Structure 1
Amino acid sequence: MTINKRPATVYVIDDEPLDNMIVKMLIKRVDTAINVNTLSNGRKAIEQLAMVLQTSPESLPDYIFLDINMPGMDGWQFLKAYAALKIRKVKAIPIYIISSSIDSKDINRSKSNPLVADFMNKPLNVENLRTIFTAA
């Protein structure tokens, strides 16, 4: 007997519309059933996560892909606000930093943050995403 599992949900948080479109396209190449929600900044993402946490926590995303260099609320500020929501008490959501930064400080800061599953350089590729989604 197989149990039908709902398709994974992914939040992609990046201020660049083209990057959001590319990441969504690559995710869909891995699995067309994955639901991809693109958000243009960290503040909108935090607001949406807070709302989902309050109203339907079972609908929290399964993965978050987060750019670190965004205006307004950057990725680091997002991580701080995300921790304050205490979502991990409800669901452990792996957060993948996606960045064009090659600064070792950004990479090390990402890898030392317990909320961050991994740091990935842009552009992402299908094989990296396939590894993430099949590891679950």
Structure 2
Amino acid sequence: MIPVLCINDSNINLFVQKRLLLQSGITDTVITASDGQEALDYYSKLTETSGSNYPRLVLLDIHMPKVDGWEFLERFSQLYLPSFEETSVIINSFTVDENEINKAKDYPVIIDFVTSQLTADYFRKLALPGLHNKVL
């Protein structure tokens, strides 16, 4: 099973995502962060411990205060992706325009851009463990 990181400023969305991930059976470890900065701080601590049990999947909201999803992606790609290269990101955002979907295609780490409610079945259908199966 792979650890999963959920980054979202909505406690309700984090609760639902965590529940769906656990129900899907793809993970027994869900880490949550309420914004991009909290997630970047988490990765900073991981680099200090150099653990191999890092999240291989990140669920990312785009529209957040402080550090939004795009800024997280930019900084994560530059600072941490070389150390955590097996990471795949799924953007889950309900308010999206075509420019954001096109922008997501510029990030190889993003494997999907989901604009609807995620389901346990969606997670079960992900090709694990390597992920990196780009749907975009």
TM-score range (shorter-chain normalised) is 0.7 to 0.9
Question: Which structure has the bigger radius of gyration?
Answer: 1
Count of residue pairs brought into register by the alignment: 130
Cα distance in structure 2, aligned partners of 1:96 and 1:125: 13
Contact 1:52–1:59 under 8 Å retained in 2: no
Q: Among 44, 67, 72, which residue is 2:38 paired with? A: 44
Cα distance in structure 2, aligned partners of 1:32 and 1:109: 28
2:86 pairs with 1:87: no
Offset of residue 16 of structure 1: 0.3
Question: For residues 79-129 of structure 1, what are the alpha-carbon distances to aligned partners after superposition, in whole Å with 9 as ceiling and x for unaligned?
Answer: 011012143344320011110023111111112322211111231112211
Q: Which runs of 4+ in 1 moved over 6 A?
A: none
Cα distance in structure 2, aligned partners of 1:90 and 1:129: 21
In structure 1, stretches of 5+ residues that fail to align are 1-6
Paired position in structure 1 for 2:24: 30
Name the structure where helix makes up a greater proportion of residues.
Answer: 1
Contact 1:53–1:60 under 8 Å retained in 2: no
- With normalisation by structure 1, the TM-score equals 0.86
Cα distance in structure 2, aligned partners of 1:125 and 1:74: 24
- With normalisation by structure 2, the TM-score equals 0.86
Cα distance in structure 2, aligned partners of 1:32 and 1:135: 9
In structure 2, stretches of 5+ residues that fail to align are 131-136
Give the partner amino acid of 1:14. Answer: N
Cα distance in structure 2, aligned partners of 1:46 and 1:89: 13
2:68 pairs with 1:100: no
